[in-house]
A and B are shown apart, each in its own frame.
Chain A
Amino acid sequence: MANFGQKIIANFANDNAKFLFISAAIGWILASSAQTVGIIANKNIKKEDKKFLVPQEIFDGLCNIGLYALITAPLIKQTGKLIDNGTISFKNIKKGTSEFERLKGGAKVIASLIGAVVSCDIATPLVRNKLGSITQRKALQQKIKITEPNYDPNYQPFFQKNLNRMPLKMSNYIAFTKSHGLKI
């Protein structure tokens, strides 16, 4: 009786397109996690850039795997079907022979590569940029809500309710007029 590892290796070695599909998905999960941690840990990237780059990276990974599965898996399956039903055939090669299966496998590998390029290199960046910018906007809006007005009573004595505690002085008034935050 074959164990799990033997079955996996045998199945992957027999169906190369399926193997490339699964190994690429695992690779992206690992790569995306590493890149996200890398951005968070990098002190040389500005906070403003991180706000966009971190969600971009997370969406990149999610989109990569999601779109890859959505586009590539049906493409591989459909290629196999088109060969099986005779829409795509091979000259002088009979159906069911090992050579036929090898060529069918080759066509499925090509389908998996096309699917990978279309999904990961074209569809993913388009979708992740859109989703990443939405998250960035939300994060900025949240920050605006959280940030409370901050003023120094020494520079803005007019806002003090209790004048006995903070009397209006000429030095305070001059400082207030020189304030960069003053808008009239």
Chain B
Amino acid sequence: MITKIQSTNNTISFHALKPIVLGEKAQKFLSKTSDFSSVHQRIAIGTFAFLIQPLIDLNNKDVDKDTSKVSAVRSASKAVVGTATGIVIRGGCMKLAERKFAKKDAAGNILREAGKAIIDPEKVKKIFGKGFDSLNLDQKALNNAFNRVPLVVGTLAALGIMVATNFLIDAPLTCKLTEKLSNIVKGKQSGGNKNG
């Protein structure tokens, strides 16, 4: 896409980039991603962490083979445990926040549209309304922002909870999984040596 890069005084001018016009499909995708939550982010980072980090650790030539194996196993365990607990706690907190701000029917059930909870702007305004006043958003942008309030509140609450769960759940679980996986790796290794 880069046709020509003009470089002056160690700065790169991006005006040289060929203009890109995004069509409907890309727009639909971006419209969805604008509402991505920290759960989506955790899934993306966690998946790549599980796939890439152990390989990087295994190829670390600055340490001996045994340490690099322990390190790789630990990276994989950390990715699995961190992602799982991160998703559960963030997701749970977001659901609770959604319950707080969503429109409900007479029976107290959350009203949904295309699977998504309908957020009640009045409930959001009642608590955070003054914060939005200074942003000068038009009605559509304001509604989009209101819809994201449960995601923000849920994530912030999850971060608070994770101060405790990181110590109580993540760290011990990662250690246990690392031990189990290390034993499996060692078992395979000794089995391989016997055969060899």
Contact = CB atoms under 8 A, between A and B. Distances in A.
Given A98-B144, A121-B45, A122-B52, A1 B130 contact: yes
Nearest to A123: B56
B172 interface: yes
A120 interface: yes
A3 to B, nearest CB: 7
Interface residues of B, number: 76
B145 A10 contact: yes
Interface of B is mostly: helix
Contacts, number: 213
A153 interface: no
B34 A16 contact: yes
Contacts of A147: none
Given A6-B128, A9-B149, A30 B67 contact: no
A43 to B, nearest CB: 10
A50 to B, nearest CB: 10
Interface stretch (A33-41, A158-166, A169-177): A33-41
Interface string A1-26: 11101111111111010011001101
Nearest to B129: A6
B33 A109 contact: yes
Contacts of B22: 88-91, 103
Interface residues of A, number: 72
Interface in B92-119: none
B185 to A, nearest CB: 13
A89 B130 contact: no
Contact of B155 (A23, A53, A98): A23
B175 A34 contact: no
Contacts of B21: 89-91
A31 B62 contact: no
B191 interface: no
Contacts of B40: 113
A136 B56 contact: no
A113 B44 CA distance: 7
Contacts of B14: 78, 81-82, 85, 87
A42 interface: yes
A106 B32 contact: yes
Contacts of B145: 10, 13-14
Interface of B: 14-15, 17, 19-24, 26-27, 29-36, 38, 40-41, 44-45, 48-49, 52-53, 56-57, 60, 62-63, 67, 70-71, 74-75, 78, 82, 86, 127-135, 137-141, 144-146, 148-149, 151-153, 155-156, 159, 162-163, 166-167, 170-172, 174-175, 179
14 contacts: A3-B130, A6-B131, A10-B132, A12-B148, A27-B86, A34-B166, A85-B15, A89-B19, A112-B41, A113-B36, A117-B44, A120-B45, A122-B52, A125-B52
Q: Which 3 A-B pairs have the closest CB atoms?
A: A38-B171, A10-B131, A6-B131
